[in-house]
Amino acid sequence: MIDKIGTTAGKIWEFLNEHGEATILKIKTNLKLSNSLVCIGIGWLVREDKVNIKTGKKDYKISLK
């Protein structure tokens, strides 16, 4: 499972690098991943200090540092 989470984190990083800031929903929809896997992948990137998270009105916005 740890490999799947690491791979997901990599896909999220690549998506943000290509498209810039995005909501969790946009990431989930474009990468066709479950909510849980997206959140775990983002958590991985947060722990590695690779992303910023801003609170929006209805969702969180994720961007690369």
- pLDDT 10s digits, 14-56: 999 999 999 999 999 999 999 999 999 999 999 999 999 999 8
Q: Name the amino acid, one letter, at 51.
A: V
* Alpha-carbon span 57 to 15, nearest angstrom: 22
DSSP category for residue 59:
S
Give the Cβ contact number of residue 61 at 10 Å.
14
| Domain spanning 2-64, CATH class | mainly alpha
Predicted structure pTM score: 0.92
Torsion of CA 18, 24, 59, 46, to 10 degrees: -80
Q: Which of 18, 4, 2, 17 is nearest to 50 (CA)?
A: 17
